[in-house]
């Protein structure tokens, strides 16, 4: 069912420093930082030949990644995002398999303007999984 790895997301305490690290030390193609107040994050996308890395820094008092940063002050891997062809069919299949879909179970428009859902990390080997309709 799942297709390409769309991105790996890493929460960072200082997105400017993290961007510089990826640009300079790793020689990667790094975007400008974009504030996404609706999502409570500032994002940077790093384009690799086969996937993307998404750097996330908390934005605002109710950021959904602030708790993660509090537990991991130097940052860390936050989630992986797999592409699916049909997000509603994928959701229904996952629920039938016993996986917990976070939130109200309805897809939200994610950082790339496409519908996404998140799956409970305890159901997927301790890793938060995002699915995105490709
Ligand atoms: Co993501």
What is residue 122's DSSP assignment? Answer: G
From first to last of its 134 residues, what are the pLDDT tens digits of the chain?
999 999 999 999 999 999 999 999 999 999 999 999 988 999 999 999 999 999 999 999 999 999 999 999 999 999 999 999 999 999 999 999 999 999 999 999 988 889 999 999 999 999 999 999 99
Q: How far is the CA of 117 from the centre of ligand 1 (A)?
A: 10
Strands 41-47, 52-58: pairing kind: antiparallel
Tell me the β-bridge partners of 79.
Answer: 9, 128
Q: How far is the CA of 24 from the centre of ligand 1 (A)?
A: 23
pLDDT of residue 111: 80
To the query of whether residue 130 is one of the catalytic residues in this protein, the response is yes
The domain containing residue 88 runs over which residues?
Answer: 2-133
Which residues have their alpha-adjacent CB atom under 5 A from ion ligand 1?
A: 9, 81, 130
Q: Say which of 54, 85, 97, 130 is annotated catalytic.
A: 130
Residue 103: exposed, middle, or buried by beta-carbon count in 10 A (0-12, 13-18, 19+)?
Answer: exposed
Using DSSP, how many helices (H) and how many strands (E) does the chain show? Answer: 3, 9
Predicted TM-score of the model (pTM): 0.94
Q: How far is the CA of 25 from the centre of ligand 1 (A)?
A: 23
Q: How far is the CA of 128 from the centre of ligand 1 (A)?
A: 10
How many structural domains are present in the chain? 1
pLDDT of residue 33: 98
Express each pLDDT in 17-53 by its tens digit. Answer: 999 999 999 999 999 999 999 889 999 999 999 999 9
State both tokens at 35: 């504030």
Q: How far is the CA of 96 from the centre of ligand 1 (A)?
A: 24
CATH code for position 53: 3.10.180.10
Cα distance between residue 91 and residue 34, in whole Å:
29
CA distances from 3 to 22, 30, 45 (A): 26, 24, 20
Q: What are the backbone angles phi and psi of residue 92, rounded to the nearest 5°?
A: -65, -40
């Amino acid at each position: 069912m799942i297709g390409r790895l769309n991105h790996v997301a890493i929460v960072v305490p200082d997105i400017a420093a993290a961007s510089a690290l990826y640009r300079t030390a790793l020689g990667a193609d790094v975007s400008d930082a974009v504030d996404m107040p609706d999502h409570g994050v500032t994002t940077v996308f790093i384009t690799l030949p086969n996937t993307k890395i998404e750097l996330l820094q908390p934005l605002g008092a109710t950021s959904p990644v602030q708790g993660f940063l509090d537990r991991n002050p130097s940052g860390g891997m936050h989630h992986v995002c797999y592409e699916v062809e049909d997000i509603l069919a994928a959701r229904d299949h996952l629920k039938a398999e016993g996986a917990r879909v976070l939130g109200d179970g309805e897809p939200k428009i994610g950082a790339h303007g496409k519908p996404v859902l998140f799956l409970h990390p305890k159901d997927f080997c301790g890793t938060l999984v995002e699915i995105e309709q490709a």
